[in-house]
């Protein structure tokens, strides 16, 4: 029986790959933290705004921005599974 590519295989492969990379990603994220303030100055989030964070990773700066746009605004963060 030939091997068949399935959605379940891809889902598991993606999760395992990103889990394996997580330890290496966190130091990179820490290196980017000095630019966090500059990003916030550039986008100037305000209360009530809706923001999309693509490739959010562990959720920063989305979590910080969410507190800035609250209570009526929202941040939606998306990333690979």
What are the pLDDT digits (tens) for 17-58? 878 887 787 888 888 889 999 999 999 999 999 999 998 888
The verdict on residue 73 lying in a domain is yes
Instruction: Work out whether the CA dihedral 50, 53, 54, 57 comes out positive or negative.
Output: negative
The gap from C-alpha 21 to its chain's centroid, in whole angstroms, comes to: 14
Cα separation of 51 and 55, whole Å?
A: 13
**Structural domain contains residue 1:** no
Name the domain count of the chain.
1
| Burial class of residue 64 (count of CB atoms within 10 Å of its CB; 0-12, 13-18, 19+) | middle
The answer to whether residue 56 sits within a structural domain is: yes
Residue 12 domain boundaries: 7-78
User: Residue 65's pLDDT is what?
Assistant: 96
């Amino acid at each position: 029986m030939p091997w068949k590519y399935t959605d379940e295989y891809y889902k598991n492969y993606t999760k395992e790959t990103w889990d394996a990379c997580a330890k290496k990603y966190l130091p990179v994220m820490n290196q980017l933290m000095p630019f966090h303030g500059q990003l916030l100055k550039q986008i100037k989030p305000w209360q009530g705004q809706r923001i999309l964070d693509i490739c959010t990773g562990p959720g920063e700066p989305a979590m910080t921005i969410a507190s800035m746009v609250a209570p009526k605004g929202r941040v939606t963060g998306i990333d690979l599974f």
